Amino acid sequence: MDFQGKHFLSTRELTLDSLAAVFRVADLLAPVAQGRATTRVLEGAVLGSLFFEASTRTRLSFEAAFQRLGGAIVNTTGFTFSSIAKGESIYDTARVVAGYVDTVVMRHPEERAIHEFAEATHIPVINGGNGAGEHPTQALLDIYTIEKEFARIGRPVNGARIALVGDLKYGRTVHSLIHILSLYQDLTLSLVSPEPLRMPAELVEHARSRGHTVEEHDEVARGVAKADLIYATRVQKERFAEGELSADYAPDFQISLGILNAHGLPHTVVMHPLPRDSRPGANDLAQDLNTDPRLAIFRQTDNGVPVRMALFALTLGVADGIEKTFQPARWWRPERIGPDDAEFYRPGKAGA
């Protein structure tokens, strides 16, 4: 797709060529995202950051990305501080906000709302998550991370065995990711979930229609066996319909160091879109993986900033020649951000 001046609402719009275009710009912008260089290519531009649903990583990484490019931000969080609480329509909100800003990122709990918003304006609108529908920029940073991680272990994405584990019914991140993965070739997609939380049938059929092998499992050990990638998700209880029973998410469904060592491979990459639910009984991705270099969740979140910077640069038409605008940063930055970050991920190292 041609990004300039266009909305970005769904991974269905992407091709391998458009992925490559985003990733080329993200690679260029990585030093800026890491705080080691600066650019002002969006100086004077204003982002409307509209989050009508709770968010930490997505909202902050979008806003950090825009500010790293020199832009400014106006925002609103939740319904309470929005005129939607007074009965204003999505259409009216979109038209009003579009008069104030140059691009918008929006998250909304209703799947249709982002499309209604985009239909009301010609300024670029980016989907920051629409209910249980999609999370296309998360899928972008996920596949960017997968390509980086697989390059590090010397393995192509084509032909890989990939396990998607957890709430595949309401997990919008995996809905978007399976569309992007379907662009690749000869994958084995192992869909691992309790029976009530299976991947929607239309997404399973889409992957199969693209020539991929799709397996469905309700047992973790079989589902993740010999996987090159395990992508875990939490149970999205907040999206369950009224009266819908919470599926049992038993302890033996948790991806832990024991499961990884027993059924994974020495090179298996472990990802999760976060947040991971660390409360007792949640049985989300285990904390005992934190020091294992196969755990890529923080490299994954770090990648959100350059990918979203690239999307802004392409959407607003400033990507060409962007590298010529770089200046060295003048402030101190640590070599590794977290105490458990793998040695190979130090800036400047191969795979960083």
Query: What does CATH list as the number for 16-134+304-328?
Result: 3.40.50.1370
Output the CATH code of domain 137-237+245-298.
Answer: 3.40.50.1370
Q: What's this model's pTM, rounded to 2 decimal places?
A: 0.91
Question: What span, in angstroms and rounded, lies between the C-alpha atoms of 215 and 163?
Answer: 9
Distance CA 142, CA 174 (A): 10
Rounding to the nearest 10 degrees, give the CA dihedral for residues 244, 250, 255, 259.
-150
Distances (CA, A) of 138 to 34, 130, 316: 19, 12, 20
pLDDT at 236: 64
Peptide bond into 194 cis (omega under 30): no
Q: For position 348, what pLDDT does the model report?
A: 47
What are the residue ranges in the chain where pLDDT is below 70? 78-87, 236-250, 343-352
Q: Determine the pLDDT at residue 335.
A: 84
pLDDT of residue 351: 42
Spell out the residues 6+ positions from residue 154 whose beta carbon is closer than 8 angstroms to its own: none
Asked, colleague to colleague, whether 16-134+304-328 and 137-237+245-298 share their fold, the answer is yes
- What gap in Å lies between CA 70 and CA 149, rounded to an integer? 29
Q: What's 8's DSSP letter?
A: B
C-alpha closest to that of 172 among 213, 117, 233 = 233
Check: CB of residue 249 under 8 Å from CB of residue 282.
Answer: yes
Give the separation between CA 302 and CA 311, rounded to whole angstroms: 15
Q: What is the pLDDT of residues 308-339, one digit of tens each?
A: 999 999 999 999 989 999 999 999 999 888 88
Could you give the CA distance from residue 105 to residue 170 in angstroms, rounded to a whole number?
21
Q: Where are the alpha helices (DSSP H) in the chain?
A: 16-33, 57-68, 90-98, 113-119, 136-152, 172-181, 201-209, 220-224, 257-263, 297-302, 304-315
Evaluate whether 336 touches 345 at the Cβ level (below 8 Å).
yes
Domain range annotation of the chain: 16-134+304-328, 137-237+245-298
